[in-house]
């Protein structure tokens, strides 16, 4: 681990980020400098790897679930711009996990984007919310990959009903 070391070499940091991400998921080939992928490693996973291998690198996503997100902000380090997209299934499971951790959500929940990012960045496998997400997607047509649309769909379906389905699926 490169404690206290600040990385200024953008090309080296980007090569290491690409190698790390490519070993775990398929990067989406898109024009521009942002590294783009769907689901897979969290931004924290990437930042931890880079800090262990090289030192501190700033990781920036300009729109992460509706808000900008920056890890290891340091104006002296190089900045890697990323776009971690969430599939519809992962986004629904993230909203359900956030609902379970923070109580009922609404389209007016303050700091909704920050709450969702904090849950999305935890990563991991959660069988009950995953089963709940599958159940919601099986019964809801035309669900948009947008948190407010998902919250409204959960309200219509009933969180408790979805939880019962999810719980019975892992029994």
Enumerate residues 6+ apart whose C-beta is below 8 A from 1.
51, 52
Q: Number of C-alpha atoms within 13 angstroms, CB side, residue 137?
A: 18
**CB distance 149 to 143 below 8 Å:** yes
Q: What would the DSSP string read from start to end of 63-88?
A: EETTEEEEES--TTS-EEEEEEE--H
Q: What is the mean pLDDT of the chain?
A: 93
Query: Between β-strands 35-38 and 58-64, what pairing exists: parallel, antiparallel or unpaired?
Result: unpaired
Per-residue model confidence (pLDDT) at position 74: 83
| Pure H helices in 3-142 | 10-22, 43-53, 88-102, 112-120, 127-139
153 in the Ramachandran plot: left (φ > 0), alpha (ψ -120 to 50) or beta? Answer: alpha
Ranking 30-34, 78-82, 138-142, 150-154 by mean pLDDT, the lowest is: 30-34
Q: CA 163: distance to chain centroid?
A: 22
Cβ–Cβ < 8 Å for 65, 109: no
- State the pLDDT at residue 142: 86
Q: In the structure encoding, which two tokens stand for residue 64, read together?
A: 């992460």
What is the pLDDT, as a whole number, of residue 52? 93
Q: Does pLDDT of 64 surpass 60?
A: yes
Residue 2, pLDDT above cutoff 60: no
| Nearest Cα residue to 140 out of 119, 165, 118, 117 | 165
Task: Give the H or E element holding residue 155.
Answer: helix 147-157
> What is the CB neighbour count within 10 angstroms for residue 158?
10
């Amino acid at each position: 681990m490169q404690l206290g070391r600040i990385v200024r070499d953008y090309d080296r940091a980007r090569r290491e980020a690409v190698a790390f991400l490519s070993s775990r998921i398929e990067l989406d080939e898109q024009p521009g400098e942002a590294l783009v992928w769907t689901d897979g490693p969290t931004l924290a996973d990437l930042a931890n790897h880079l800090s262990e291998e090289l030192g501190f690198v700033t990781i920036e996503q300009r729109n992460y679930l509706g808000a900008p997100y920056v890890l290891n902000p340091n104006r002296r380090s190089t900045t890697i711009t990323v776009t971690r997209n969430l599939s519809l299934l992962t986004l629904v499971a993230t909203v359900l996990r956030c609902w379970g951790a923070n109580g009922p959500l609404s389209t007016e929940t303050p700091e909704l984007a920050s709450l969702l990012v904090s849950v999305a960045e935890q990563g991991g496998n959660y069988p009950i919310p995953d089963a709940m997400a599958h159940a919601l997607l099986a019964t809801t047509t035309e669900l948009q990959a947008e948190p407010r649309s998902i919250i409204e769909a959960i309200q219509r379906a009933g969180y408790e009903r979805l939880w019962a389905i999810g719980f019975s699926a892992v029994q």
